[in-house]
Amino acid sequence: MKIYNPPTVHSAPTYSHGIEVPPNARWLYISGQIGVGPDGKMKDGIEAQTQQVFENLKAVLAAAGMGIENLVKVTTFLTDENTIDGFRKVRGQHLGEHKPASTLVVIKRLALLGLLVEVEAVAAKA
């Protein structure tokens, strides 16, 4: 994959402005993942929910023979602007140096009451 962060666009320290996927790559579209564990229970707080979100994302990626390094686009929905720092902390722990194209939006609410975060993603593997 080729990353595009042109000098004519502002610096993006935790994400990439553009990622080009090579021809004939396998694409995986991942539905929005939420802070609910395999037991069906919602986690408490932004950091616990975000931890579960990334564990869910990794499980879906693994099922497709992929990993975090295959993420090319991540879209995050938060229900409270005051949770951005907690979200970013956990996100950084999971993504490390990998910087997919990213969008973060603060919205009024998610499908289930009590959810603080939802992350959908697109992955590709050549």
Q: Which residues pair with 74 in a beta bridge?
A: 102, 121
Q: For 6-51, write each residue's pLDDT tens digit.
A: 999 999 889 999 999 999 999 999 999 999 999 999 999 999 999 9
Residue 34: closest CA among 121, 125, 108: 121
Which two structure tokens, joined as six digits, stand for 25? 């790559």
What pLDDT shows up at residue 22?
Answer: 94
Q: Is the pTM of this model over 0.75?
A: yes
Instruction: Output the six-digit token pair for 60.
Output: 């879906």
H/E run at residue 60: helix 46-63
All residues at 6 or more sequence positions from 62 whose CB lies less than 8 Å from its CB, including other chains: none
